[in-house]
Structure 1
Amino acid sequence: MIELPEIAFLAGAGLLAGAVNALAGGGTLISFPALVAFGYPSISASVTNSVSLWPGYLGGVLGYRAELRGQRRRATVLSVTAVLGAIGGSTLLLLTPGRLFDSVVPWLVAFASLALLAQPWLRKRFERATGEGSGRLVHVGVFLGGCYGAYFNGGMGVLLLAVLGMFLHDDLHRVNAVRAALSLVISTVSVAAFSLFGPVRWEAVAVVAPASLAGGFLGTRLARLMPPAVLRGVVVVFGLGVATVLALR
């Protein structure tokens, strides 16, 4: 039974993770360590985290409703590819031995942290894009992003934004809205797989999930009030610290 101080801690982590995912991606770098700190094994913490953050992705999509208008066909076609990638990533995680995942997860956390750090540079590259690019390559990128996002949620949004920004010639906010939709699709597939076959800790989900929904919905509005560089810097430093601690366990 989770006590009141623990409920408050997990709810705060879920709220912040949902907001960070909506703002810049990287919310897993907050919620995953919070679950590990409770003593959950890494795979159990990972699948619980994926299920818990699903409402946050839904909140992010709701916040981007205006930017998604007129992009139904694009989002639908790319969603099919994202589903295939998410099935592969979910299956791989469920088949990964716990000890192997323990050895890999510090590197995944560090990679997600560095990807978040590189996000401003990637966005500048996106803004200089001049063509629609190869349709085949964008599907390859979305497939790999789906695999990674289902296997380990951290940094998924950054990777998807990188892929879409390279190959879609459009306003960055509209591209980011498609990224939010694909993140929700990938998360939905992994949640279905983990709910059926994974060691989900539902008592933690009951606390983190509603908090992440509120955070995801509010995150798109906080972007106008909070300096993104400050938030990104805090999350990156925190993520690299977590990776170091996990590597030395």
Structure 2
Amino acid sequence: MDLAPSGVALLLLAAGFFAGLLNAVAGGGSFLTLPALMSVGVPPVAANATGTAALLPGYLASVLADRHGLRAAWRDLGPALAGGLLLAGVLGGAVGAVALLLTGDAAFRVLIPWLLLVATLLFALGPWLRRLAARPHPGPLRALGAGLGCAYGGYFNGGVGILLLAILRGQGIADLARANALKNVLSSVLTLMAVAVYIAGGQVVATGLLAVGAGAILGARVGIILVRRLPESGYRQVVTLVGVAVTALFFLEPAWLLPRL
């Protein structure tokens, strides 16, 4: 898509705004940042990496906003399991990010619609997954499950919040608010590690990072207001519809979205 620099900045700013809003409400911001960055010529791997980096401040803000719930969840888990989950976030995020860099643009472009389809299904089936996982599992499986979820998040951020929430419910955390607080911590940790790997691999585009990041901060502030007023079923349906539309778009592979590599 050929746009003037001002048009590129506005497009990315708008994508960041609505991505930040979605993430604050239910998640799914990468449904918007990935196609926006690719449409202005950013290669697939760099688009995924840059979009994830731009949304990192929103994850960190969520942790700060829910400190009380986090402390309560930490006490419930105990120091050993809590430390294991943090380690899973660090290692999983790094492993997933390295796997992304090793995939390469051509292969990742082929995987994108399937990854988006998985993310859309995670959002659509989120309540069912949480109910299915809402029973405790043996200790060794807990950190392993969290590590696999974090590796997915380091590779592709779409739907990772729903996946981690379902996994954490399987840690024996019956209280949804406390599980959500831990989910925000793991999302922040894995994304921090992934972004560090992306930067080391030269896959974060500075212009896209600034424009999308600025929009995401503004969108998150609006989303925090909306989340108190909208029913969960309503915004989950909106995110699912966005996911279906973007997934279909990538399966169709329009030339303006997927330029020749």
TM-score normalised by the chain length of structure 2: 0.86
Amino acid at match of 1:47: A
Shift of 1:124: 3.8
Shift of 1:64: 1.6
Shift of 1:241: 2.1
Amino acid at match of 2:41: G
- Counterpart for residue 46 of structure 1: 48
For the pair 1:82 / 2:93, whether they are aligned, the reply is no
Cα distance between partner residues in 1 of 2:63 and 2:178: 12
- Counterpart for residue 16 of structure 1: 18
Amino acid at match of 2:138: S
| Structural mapping, 1:128-143, within 5 Å | 129=134, 132-143=136-147
- Counterpart for residue 57 of structure 2: 55
Distance 1:97 1:7, change over 3 A: closer
- Counterpart for residue 95 of structure 1: 102
Q: Deviations over 1:206-234 (max 9, x none)?
A: 11113323434553443211233232222
Count the aligned residue pairs: 246
Distance 1:79 1:210, change over 3 A: farther
- Counterpart for residue 259 of structure 2: none
Shift of 1:167: 2.2
| Structural mapping, 1:1-249, within 5 Å | 3-72=5-74, 73=79, 75-125=82-132, 129=134, 132-216=136-220, 219-249=223-253
Cα distance between partner residues in 2 of 1:98 and 1:22: 29
- Secondary structure class of the residue paired with 1:167: coil
Q: Deviations over 1:90-125 (max 9, x none)?
A: 111111121111111110011101110111222344
Amino acid at match of 2:219: G
Q: What percentage of residue pairs aligned between the two structures are identical?
A: 37
Distance 1:173 1:95, change over 3 A: same
Shift of 1:176: 0.4
- Secondary structure class of the residue paired with 2:242: helix
Structure 2: which 5+ runs fail to align? 254-261
Shift of 1:197: 0.9
Shift of 1:248: 2.5
Cα distance between partner residues in 2 of 1:132 and 1:246: 38
Contact residue 60 and residue 217 of structure 1 kept, 8 A: no
Distance 1:2 1:89, change over 3 A: farther
Cα distance between partner residues in 1 of 2:156 and 2:61: 20
Contact residue 73 and residue 179 of structure 2 kept, 8 A: no
Q: Deviations over 1:176-221 (max 9, x none)?
A: 0100110000000011111111322110101111332343455344
Shift of 1:165: 1.1
